[in-house]
């Protein structure tokens, strides 16, 4: 199998994309990594090495011509670019234009430029939970889960994932066969996880971790480095086993032992600050009441002040609904094993949290603005 491959990572300045780029620069078969993103990242520029150059191309995923030009001479595309808005503050059309329309552009640009391999970053939100808050516990990729998806974001990711899987087997301009697959991460933690940093600052100030989830909740948490590594491994094996990986979807997983968010946060935070204690459970009815009162206030002040929601009822319902998977499909299909074990994942996350808290006013303020 030939080496000296050129990769294009859409959204490569983003949370998962940036980690994918870093990992690609360590692979001997990679000749060049191109990052296509509407934003710029100093860390991406620092990834540039003598052996594997990293080229940042500033562009909009909804602009087909920009994408087409960036893809010239590319062998593999890892498509992570998306608009993530779980609070529904953005118009649905805008999210659909980026998440679905942008994915259509990626597929069409690959066909036009004879780029035969696409790995797509989907989401567990593309599956559910549904509007009835029906649980899904320890599912596999073959589990059938029906009903209308709760989040608008999840609806757009489901549509885009379908496009990616349907594109498998299509012919490119010069007769190559397009091979595609999708990775479905669940809740991710690790460096640059803003909600983990916000939760730590709150816990540090109050010395307790209060939580909404019921004690019997069953969820899934995966370290960002392992999510990125699964993308890198899938992209390589698409070329080796196109008949096996083509049109398939894979849940992202590792050996993180926690099944409840508050337990994961407690495990991380007490590693840094042993004074932090497990707090009390906030009952559903109380959060429901707080959200509705907040919504009323938001409506009253709307003419004068654009008050952003801190939580919505759909998000509250998702938090209290068990939604998880248990699978080894990625291992069976392409030998995936986590690059970082639980101890290393915890260590890296805690080191990042400590580095951020060391200069809270400056760093955290910048994080909020972003």
Catalytic annotation, residues: 153
* 130 closest CA partner among 277, 323, 278, 351: 323
HSE of 269, CA atoms in CB hemisphere, 13 A: 26
The token pair at 211 is 């939580």
Q: At CA 24, angle to CA 21 and CA 30, rounded to 5?
A: 130
Q: Which two tokens stand for residue 300?
A: 């009253």
First to last CA, the chain: 41
Under 8 Å CB-to-CB from 309, ≥6 apart: which residues?
87, 89, 294, 295, 298
- Strands 54-58 and 76-79, bridge-based pairing: unpaired
d(CA 170, CA 179): 8
C-alpha to C-alpha distance for 339 and 254, rounded to whole angstroms: 9
Q: Quickly list H helices, the chain.
A: 15-24, 42-46, 64-70, 92-96, 102-112, 152-167, 194-206, 224-240, 242-245, 261-272, 284-301, 313-319, 329-334, 342-357, 360-369
């Amino acid at each position: 199998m030939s080496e000296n491959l050129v990769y294009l990572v859409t959204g490569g300045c983003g949370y998962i994309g940036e980690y994918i780029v870093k990992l690609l620069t360590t692979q001997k078969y990679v000749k060049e990594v191109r990052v296509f993103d509407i934003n710029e990242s100093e860390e991406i520029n620092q990834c540039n090495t003598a052996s594997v150059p990293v080229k940042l191309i500033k562009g909009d995923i909804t602009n087909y011509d920009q994408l087409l030009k960036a893809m010239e001479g590319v062998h593999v595309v890892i498509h992570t670019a998306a608009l993530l808005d779980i609070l529904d503050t953005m118009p649905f059309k805008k999210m659909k234009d980026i998440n679905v329309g942008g994915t259509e552009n990626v597929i069409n640009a690959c066909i036009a430029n004879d780029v035969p391999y696409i790995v797509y970053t989907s989401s567990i939100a593309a599956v559910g939970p549904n509007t009835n808050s029906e649980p899904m516990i320890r599912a596999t990729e073959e589990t059938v889960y029906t009903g209308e998806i709760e989040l608008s974001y999840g609806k757009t990711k489901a549509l885009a994932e379908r496009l990616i899987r349907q594109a498998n087997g299509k012919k490119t301009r010069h007769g190559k066969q397009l091979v595609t697959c999708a990775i479905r991460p669940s809740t991710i933690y690790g460096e640059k996880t803003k909600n983990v940093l916000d939760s730590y600052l709150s816990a540090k100030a109050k010395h307790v971790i209060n939580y909404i989830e019921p004690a019997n909740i069953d969820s899934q948490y995966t370290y960002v480095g392992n999510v990125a590594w699964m993308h890198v491994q899938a992209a390589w094996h698409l070329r080796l086993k196109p008949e096996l990986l083509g049109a398939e979807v894979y849940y992202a997983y590792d050996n993180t032992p926690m099944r409840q968010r508050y337990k994961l946060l407690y495990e991380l935070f007490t590693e840094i600050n042993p004074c932090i204690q497990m707090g009390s459970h906030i009952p559903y009815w109380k959060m429901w009441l707080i959200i509705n009162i907040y919504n009323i206030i938001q409506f009253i002040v709307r003419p004068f002040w654009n008050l952003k929601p801190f939580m919505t009822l759909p998000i509250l319902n998702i938090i209290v609904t068990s939604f998880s998977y248990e699978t080894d499909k990625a291992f069976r299909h392409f030998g995936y094993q986590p690059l970082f074990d639980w101890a290393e994942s915890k260590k890296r996350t805690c080191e990042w949290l400590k580095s951020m808290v060391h200069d809270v006013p400056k760093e955290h303020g910048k994080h909020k603005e972003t």
